[in-house]
């Protein structure tokens, strides 16, 4: 997955395309079109699993303490290095 692949996926997300459906992860044509999509789905699944485990182990978390939604992992104007760092940390 290249920086260009990540930029392309980021642009699709910014345009409002949603990739949270489980069917998206198994659609080979879509994955072929957006090479970063498979990485996004894998990271998104792992992130959601961690969040759900964390939510079960903690009694209450305020909105200020919670992580941003997965669609907000990238912000407009982020450099490729910042995006890579966020993906690694995520």
d(Cα 23, Cα 30) in Å, to the nearest integer? Answer: 10
> Which pLDDT score, from 0 to 100, does residue 63 have?
46
> Which pLDDT score, from 0 to 100, does residue 85 have?
75
Question: Cα dihedral sign for 37, 84, 73, 2?
Answer: negative
> Which pLDDT score, from 0 to 100, does residue 72 have?
62
pLDDT by residue (tens digit) across 44-88?
888 888 888 877 776 554 444 445 555 566 666 777 777 777 777
Q: What's the domain range around 66?
A: 3-89
For 27, 30, 52, 63, 75, the CA distances from 71, given in Å and listed in that order, are 19, 18, 17, 16, 9
The answer to whether residues 37 and 24 touch, using CB atoms and an 8 Å cutoff, is yes
> Which pLDDT score, from 0 to 100, does residue 73 have?
64
Domain count, the chain: 1
pLDDT by residue (tens digit) across 2-40?
999 999 999 998 998 888 776 666 678 888 889 998 888
The answer to whether residues 86 and 73 touch, using CB atoms and an 8 Å cutoff, is yes
3-class secondary structure per residue, 68-80:
CCHHHCCCCCCCH
């Amino acid at each position: 997955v290249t920086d260009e692949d990540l930029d392309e996926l980021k642009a699709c997300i910014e345009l409002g395309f949603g990739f949270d459906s489980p069917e998206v992860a198994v659609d080979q044509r879509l994955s072929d079109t957006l090479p970063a999509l498979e990485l996004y789905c894998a990271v998104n699944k792992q992130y959601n699993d961690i969040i759900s485990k964390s939510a079960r182990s903690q009694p209450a978390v305020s909105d200020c303490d919670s992580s941003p939604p997965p669609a907000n992992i990238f912000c407009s104007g982020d450099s490729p290095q910042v995006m890579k760092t966020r993906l690694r940390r995520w």
